[in-house]
Structure 1
């Protein structure tokens, strides 16, 4: 499909057929060229076991094609139908306390259930056979927002699946005992059949078991996706396949998931009431672009208010456009919304839509028309890339280990906060940023920042040591190996030669207290008693038990930050200057992004700003955005 994609989720099954003609007519008027259909349609498409009703979907697909609108056709498997749940109650998910979760919401399934998996593949295959030659079919949409509601299941079937997964990972029970350190607290196993999921227990659960459970739970859902993808690929080998991610999500290893997709898509819902949301959502967009190092697609966003926060604040005039252009600025090749027509009933009846309850004589509809027209003018943006000089390293196993409940020196270290502490000041300087896994080739970047790498393998350490550029590594890194066992000699483990320091003892900072540094800045939540082992001190702790001890060190081009500074800018200023990158600040609230040949300027602030660009000064009103074609006046 040429140009940028524009549209959203369409749920015609919620409306009488006489409404459908009006819908597609208004879609054409608004410039919609893609809609997502059948996401939650399993109970309508298969009303009884093996009995299919495709008639209504046939009519919708035909109607869309007649009006030049393509279909992102879902497999409908996000929610099993009531008949399947009642005939096979064992597919219902079970929480860590043993409670069986009842039907009546969505995603009510056990990811490991053979019955559920077989049923999803059968439905996906039937849909693929039915629509494989349909001219409206543009892409496949498998399930919906994996791990939104069902992240894990603790039932007996999941336990059996977990044991098979562990056998594949460790081969022998001796291998598992060694990896899990089961001699601690008398947990030694003599057979895999004795292993259960980490259900609720009298005290802290083995952290190695928890880490493997997180790996397994991500893999179990990925197996569901890949089972459906296999049948779609067999029937329609040339139709691209995706599933919608959920921004920077703790539960799923998106580096691994992205390898299984043809292209990355994301659902993003920044809170218009949160002044920090523009920077947090920008981080997630840059992750989406980085996952496959290519353009992605914003598959869901809100035209105005959502329906699931405690207070659902609408978007002020112009903010729908601003948020849409922000997604394009960070690499999306379109802007899709939830949903097309605002629902009359159900949990999302107050969620905004491109076509609101009030119809076409509304502010929302006028903004929908304006956005559709503007996206046509921006067609040259589609397919273009972003070249970033800075990368942030994000590793899911490290994240899972770092934030495991209990057993840690502090429960205050949160990886997303640590990422944002470096990402936000980089964006304030107008620098484009990629995210990268710890084992990726990083040679194309001038600066690499590792906010945290709690779990560090020899392979990770070798990749960072071989980088050779300007490197910043944050605290509590290189602590454990892939099995959650502390490296010999303590942190930073295999990073010691690269960083030139030894961490003798972590020194968490109590809530409400700050630790002074001798450069006049402060640290919060975390500090460390470190000893120099070749590195030079740049900043020292000032006052308290760590008074005079190194806080920030330098070894070659590698900087180690043993604390959480309340402002990382002084460290960044030095490293960026040495790397030859700009350090000047953009006006407050302004964001700058580049895609080949295009410069995006976005003002998330509440007052007008002036921005200097290669094309001259640009005036930006509050909640305004401008796209410049570079090289043109």
Structure 2
């Protein structure tokens, strides 16, 4: 299990300040620059308030220019240089990108696609997670680095590989086939059990020898669905096993140094089951990049919330996000004033104790030269670097928050990687289903109502939550169904949706009618799925619109209340949303996709039953996001302006640790706090200070502004 309380040890700053502080820094790639730039880098790092750097991530070819040849002199110099300036190092194991000499000598380490094509060198992550040859060379490198830097005073943490699985999660090579068969033997013990789980009686797929089994390579039609699901499980486990191999070696050679690896909870990155991986690292780290769109900052908040759930509510680190534009989207738009700070502080609000960017200095060459950085191509005389410097000061002011965990909300959204994988496989009722989007829509709707919600995984303790939303919970083993029943009967209020409860852990349908494993708890029965053609819609409750799906719901238990009916379509007049009393709680079902706007219209009835109310003043609901962290005797309230207009909040109490950009005000009148423009990086206004023991009655958040209040814990 994870040692999640073991966070990187930060060195005292140049001013001899305390070690308890928020980490601030970036990926640093000094091998791209001449030595004279290194001195300028550390000067600017100190100016920006940087206190930790990720080093060596893509340095294998520099550290080991040839097989058996090692060059640590340059890295030694940098470790000493950074330490001399009070900057700690999160040292990567440099295994993310094999050097050309290795792939030339051993092309058998290169991944293979489902169609049998080799993935060639020329980019990064061109290695098979199950290759014994790659592992031998990679662990040799890890061992050399650990021995070289064990005990170095700059070493704060080990950074295993980099974004494991970003480009090589699915490998269909012969190495993968052998490892897949071994994984299946361990899971099923016998071919009879495997044949049952995979339903191989269909299409004459019964296996009589383990060696007959392959990964789901390109086939004439849809590959076996349980084979596909198991291959997804295996592929996540194979990368986890590789992570553990590096981790175990590092723990043996440097037992006092915590180990992490940067996850990627964001957007459509779904191949790695991070809920399962989290227990293998000493502290959880995450990379996140904003995907432009109408829910862009909601998605950022959702992802930060989910990684907090993955971390069990303990503090975690942002290892990568961007100061401004990225380089890999179709159109790469620069961030607006205030976005850099708001994005960063949203992560802090959801439990991040470290805020780091990719990268420190923007590259002049290479595939990511147009990706923004802390020091952009324009240099230190730039709006980006001024914003970076102001954020560093703000994070210094927020030092009291370091080490605090999130305070549970009254509402949680249940997120399940296996339901994500299985619900979106081929040969299903619709190919338009988007599991993560459905979860995000519920989250956005709660934000619109001013309701604080956690995002948790299926192994979480559900007892703190009065309302639990489990959208498209497609894979429901018997044990999970029993847990959800106990939750509802014990006083919790469960809400689930279409295409939930459909299959067990083997992707076998629960028979007797849908929603299968949850049918009795919900008190309803659906005989056939109700997918809608793209573009079709149905009305619900008169003023809501359902798309994607419209189940024909039959009520089979008199304890069921119909909350909304279909107003149009094939099921007009029939139930669309139901709720059944269960013990001292309830279980509700939503048979169509309502989208974020429609769910905001439906949710008040569900929230009322659970006696959940917004903690925000009425005028701020939907405009401001509230999150709460707690440490010792204090609660820290983060108030994040979701809009491009100023928002005034009234009825607040607590000490203002830091305020928004562009004119945050608190107190009896409109007296400025001094938090004028800190989060935009503008030099024309003062940076926020720390305000203690002053009663506050109202506060104005500027557009995209953030304020943090400290109050005594109840």
Matches within 5 A, 1:544-623: 544-556=569-581, 557-566=586-595, 567-583=598-614, 586=620, 589-596=623-630, 597-615=635-653, 616-623=697-704
Matches within 5 A, 1:6-17: 6-17=24-35
Rounded to whole Å, the distance in 1 between the matches of 2:621 and 2:416 is 32
- State the partner residue of 1:432: 452
- State the partner residue of 2:684: none
Rounded to whole Å, the distance in 1 between the matches of 2:456 and 2:215 is 31
Instruction: Identify the range of structure 1 (142-151 vs 514-523) with the bigger mean alpha-carbon deviation.
Output: 514-523
Rounded to whole Å, the distance in 2 between the matches of 1:512 and 1:373 is 49
Rounded to whole Å, the distance in 1 between the matches of 2:126 and 2:391 is 36
Q: SS of the residue aligned with 2:141?
A: helix
The one of 179, 189, 200 equivalent to 1:161 is 179
The one of 476, 491, 495 equivalent to 2:514 is 491
CA contact (8 A) 1:439 1:459 kept: no
Q: SS of the residue aligned with 2:620?
A: coil
Say whether residues 1:382 and 2:402 are aligned partners.
yes
CA contact (8 A) 1:588 1:605 kept: no
Say whether residues 1:447 and 2:472 are aligned partners.
no
The Cα of 1:208 is off from its aligned counterpart by 0.8
Instruction: Identify the range of structure 1 (494-503 vs 579-588) with the bigger mean alpha-carbon deviation.
Output: 579-588
Rounded to whole Å, the distance in 2 between the matches of 1:18 and 1:483 is 59
CA contact (8 A) 2:158 2:260 kept: yes
Rounded to whole Å, the distance in 1 between the matches of 2:230 and 2:122 is 30
- State the partner residue of 1:396: 417
Query: TM-score normalized by structure 1?
Result: 0.97
CA contact (8 A) 1:244 1:266 kept: yes
Rounded to whole Å, the distance in 2 between the matches of 1:385 and 1:324 is 17
- State the partner residue of 2:308: 289
The Cα of 1:600 is off from its aligned counterpart by 1.4
CA offsets per residue over residues 142-169 of structure 1, 9 Å max, x none? 0111121112111111111111111111
CA contact (8 A) 1:428 1:586 kept: no
CA contact (8 A) 2:316 2:352 kept: yes
Q: SS of the residue aligned with 1:526?
A: strand
The one of 111, 117, 122 equivalent to 1:104 is 122
Rounded to whole Å, the distance in 2 between the matches of 1:218 and 1:134 is 33
CA contact (8 A) 2:646 2:700 kept: yes
Instruction: Identify the range of structure 1 (282-291 vs 309-318) with the bigger mean alpha-carbon deviation.
Output: 309-318
Query: TM-score normalized by structure 2?
Result: 0.86
Say whether residues 1:516 and 2:539 are aligned partners.
yes
- State the partner residue of 2:662: none
Rounded to whole Å, the distance in 2 between the matches of 1:311 and 1:457 is 42
The Cα of 1:78 is off from its aligned counterpart by 0.4
Rounded to whole Å, the distance in 1 between the matches of 2:218 and 2:24 is 45
Task: List, as ranges, runs of 4+ consecutive aligned residues in structure 1 with deviation greater than 4 Å.
Answer: none
- State the partner residue of 1:531: 554
CA contact (8 A) 2:450 2:622 kept: no
Say whether residues 1:298 and 2:318 are aligned partners.
yes
Say whether residues 1:89 and 2:107 are aligned partners.
yes
Rounded to whole Å, the distance in 1 between the matches of 2:542 and 2:465 is 28
- State the partner residue of 1:629: 710
CA offsets per residue over residues 575-607 of structure 1, 9 Å max, x none? 222322215573554322222222212223222
Which blocks of at least 5 consecutive residues in structure 1 are unaligned?
Answer: none
CA contact (8 A) 1:587 1:609 kept: no
CA contact (8 A) 1:439 1:463 kept: no
Rounded to whole Å, the distance in 1 between the matches of 2:300 and 2:382 is 27
CA offsets per residue over residues 25-50 of structure 1, 9 Å max, x none? 21112111000000011111112223
Rounded to whole Å, the distance in 2 between the matches of 1:68 and 1:613 is 42
- State the partner residue of 1:45: 63
Alignment CA distance shift 1:544-1:312 (3 Å): closer
Rounded to whole Å, the distance in 2 between the matches of 1:182 and 1:44 is 50
Matches within 5 A, 1:29-40: 29-40=47-58
CA contact (8 A) 1:505 1:530 kept: no
- State the partner residue of 1:541: 566
CA offsets per residue over residues 588-630 of structure 1, 9 Å max, x none? 5432222222221222322222223523332122122222223
CA contact (8 A) 1:441 1:463 kept: no
The Cα of 1:207 is off from its aligned counterpart by 0.8
CA offsets per residue over residues 155-186 of structure 1, 9 Å max, x none? 11111111111111111111111111111111
Q: Alignment length, in residue pairs?
A: 630
Instruction: Identify the range of structure 1 (470-479 vs 358-367) with the bigger mean alpha-carbon deviation.
Output: 358-367
Rounded to whole Å, the distance in 2 between the matches of 1:325 and 1:182 is 51
Q: Pairwise CA RMSD of aligned residues? A: 1.5
CA contact (8 A) 2:619 2:649 kept: no
The one of 352, 373, 385 equivalent to 1:332 is 352
